[in-house]
Amino acid sequence: MNPQLEGVEDLEGTYVFDLRTSHRTMKLNRFLWNMISAGMRESYRADPEAAMSDAGLNETEKALIRAEDWIGLIRHGASFFVLEKFARVAGRTNLEVYAMMRGESFEDFMKTRRVPECR
């Protein structure tokens, strides 16, 4: 265990992205990262199944992507910072993704914010 992170497992709803996770989810995170390329975005939109297979995703990962299951992807080990690139392709804002990760509707989530109009 990294001593800088001792006790982090006690924090609920927090998934540390360390080298163990990164190593395990390399292909998934590369697939998500590739969405910064206009060409890769087009390939995904044209044929999502082929794009996922070409990226070497396993069946669990493909199902999570198909479902746009944001919290499922995070629990599986996606880095949020490549996940947000895929969110752009899926037409979701970060605020919408936060709400879904919390299991709340977007409007309910925004009611918990100080300036709900700030979007």
Footprint of other proteins (CB under 8 A): 2-8, 11-19, 22, 26, 29-30, 33, 35-38, 41, 71, 74-75, 79-89, 94-95, 98, 101-103, 109-110, 112-119
Give the count of beta carbons closer than 10 Å to the beta carbon of residue 63: 13
> Hunting for tokens 């990962």 — which residue is that?
61
Closer of 52 and 109 to other proteins (Cβ): 109
- Residue 24 or 66 having the CB closest to other proteins: 24
Least Å distance between CB 118 and other proteins? 4
**CB-nearer residue toward other proteins: 62 or 89:** 89
Q: Residue 54: how many CB atoms within 10 A of its CB? A: 14
What is the spatial distance between Cα 11 and Cα 54, in angstroms, rounded to a whole number? 36
Rounded least distance, CB 93 to other proteins, Å: 8
28 contacts 79 by C-beta, under 8 angstroms:
no
**Nearer Cβ to other proteins (62/98):** 98
- Per-residue CA distances from 71 to 1, 56, 99, 100, 115 (Å): 24, 21, 10, 7, 24
Closest separation in Å from C-beta 101 to other proteins: 5
Q: How far is the CB of 66 from other proteins (least distance, A)?
A: 19
